[in-house]
Amino acid sequence: MVVLKTRQLLYGLATFIPGVTKLAGKGAGSSDSARYCYSVWLRHLAMAGKNRFNTEPKAVAELGPGSSLGIAVAALLTGAEKCYAFDVVPHACTRKNLDVFEDLVALFRRREPIPDQAELPLVKPLLASYESPPM
C-alpha cells in the first residue's frame, strides 16, 4: 500500500486546476532533465523489485507528466510496450522530449548509476544502492 503525504496529495490534486503549476513556477518536477527522469523511473523499478512487484511492466501510465514525457520514455526504454500519459493541461514540448530521449538513451547505454541524494536531494525514496539495475 502506498501512503501519500498530505502536501503531495494536495499538490497533485491542484494540478488539475489550469495554471496552478505555472503559479508554482514549475511543473510537477524536473521532467526536462533526463537524469531526473532516469532516477525517478529506476527508483520505481527498484522499489517494485524490493516489494516483489513486477519490474517488467508491459504498460505504464503517468499522471501529469508536465513538459516532458521523460519518465514514460524511460519506461519504454526498459521494456514497457505501451505508455499512457495523462495531463489536464497540454505542457509537452517536442524539442524538449527529443533532447530528453537522446540523453536517456545515453544514460541507459552507459548503465549510469542512479542519481542519488547528493545530486537530486528532493527525489524519494532513498535507496539502499544507487547502482544501475541489470537490464
pLDDT digits (tens, 9 = 90+) for 31-64: 889 999 999 999 999 999 999 999 999 999 988 8
pLDDT band at 27 (very low <50, low <70, confident <90, very high): very low
Q: Are strands 59-63 and 82-86 parallel, antiparallel or unpaired?
A: parallel
Q: Which residues are within 8 A (CB) of 99 and not within 5 positions of it... i.e. 6 or more apart?
A: 32, 34
